[in-house]
């Protein structure tokens, strides 16, 4: 399962509402998303990030017990007037972190995997941030969109530079592997970059 990165136009599109009996949900896409997310040390993942334009989100915040959530069609139905600043990162913008201001608390309505209506009332702290960040993804919004224009373009340039450097390193590693063959040394080098 490949994660799309900033610059991919799919991340800018609006995801579709999921209907009961959805084949991806029936085949366990939410569990697969959790596994993929954890393998990259993420705490939240939205379906557009794996190239699927459906309103599906998974969340697992290790510091918050009982925070493993599989959300279908999540919707913010209340936001606090109080705002809060929190540093955010995103699996689609690896290496980029910035402080974003958002409502301190939100209420989210959604459906669970069995398509039962559920509600998270007045979520706070990192869960409130994560819910807003992931629901943004369903609407084609990335966290850096919340920053001032100059800060956003600075980070966007920084990320593109990183992507370019990564591509050069990967090309070099591939050339190395070809030279060294499939020995253990070559394998080690590949996995240390992953």
Q: What amino acid positions are annotated as catalytic residues? A: 134
For Co ion, which is the closer residue by CB, 63 or 192?
A: 63
Q: How many residues bind Co ion (CB under 5 A)?
A: 1
Residues 176 and 186: beta-carbon distance below 8 Å = yes
Examine residue 90 and tell whether it contacts Co ion (CB under 5 A).
yes
* β-pairing verdict for 117-123 and 106-111: antiparallel
Q: Please identify, among the stretches 29-37, 84-92, 108-116, 121-129, the one whose residues bind Co ion according to the rule CB under 5 A.
A: 84-92
For Co ion, which is the closer residue by CB, 90 or 96?
A: 90
Nearby residues of 112 by Cβ (< 8 Å), 6 or more positions away: 70, 71, 72, 118
> What is the smallest separation between the CB atom of 133 and Co ion, expressed in angstroms?
5
Interface of this chain with Co ion, residues 118 to 177, rule: CB under 5 A? none
Q: Please identify, among the stretches 16-24, 65-73, 85-93, 110-118, the one whose residues bind Co ion according to the rule CB under 5 A.
A: 85-93
Please give the helix or strand (H or E) that residue 193 lies within, else none: helix 184-193
> What is the smallest separation between the CB atom of 20 and Co ion, expressed in angstroms?
27
Q: Please identify, among the stretches 27-35, 82-90, 115-123, 168-176, the one whose residues bind Co ion according to the rule CB under 5 A.
A: 82-90
Q: Which two tokens stand for residue 162?
A: 């990183």
Q: For the chain, first and last CA: distance in Å?
A: 14
The upper half-sphere exposure of residue 173, i.e. CA atoms within 13 Å in the direction of its Cβ, equals 16
* Binding footprint of Co ion on the chain (CB under 5 A): 90
């Amino acid at each position: 399962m490949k994660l799309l990165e900033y610059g991919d136009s799919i991340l800018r599109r609006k995801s579709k509402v999921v209907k009961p009996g959805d084949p991806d949900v029936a085949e366990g896409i939410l569990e697969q998303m959790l596994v993929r997310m954890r393998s990259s040390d993420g705490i939240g993942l939205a379906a557009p990030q794996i190239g699927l334009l459906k309103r599906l989100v998974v969340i697992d915040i290790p510091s918050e017990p009982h925070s493993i959530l599989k959300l279908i069609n999540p919707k913010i139905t209340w936001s606090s007037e109080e705002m809060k600043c929190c540093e955010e990162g995103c699996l689609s913008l690896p290496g980029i972190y910035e402080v974003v201001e958002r409502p301190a608390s939100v209420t989210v309505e959604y459906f669970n995997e069995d398509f039962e209506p559920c509600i998270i009332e007045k979520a706070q702290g990192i869960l409130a941030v994560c819910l807003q960040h992931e629901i943004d993804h369903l609407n084609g919004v990335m966290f850096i969109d919340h920053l001032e224009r100059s800060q956003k373009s600075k980070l966007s340039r920084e990320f593109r530079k990183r992507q370019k450097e990564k591509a050069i390193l990967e090309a070099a590693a591939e050339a190395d592997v070809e030279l060294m063959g499939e020995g253990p040394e070559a394998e080690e080098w590949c996995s240390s970059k992953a």
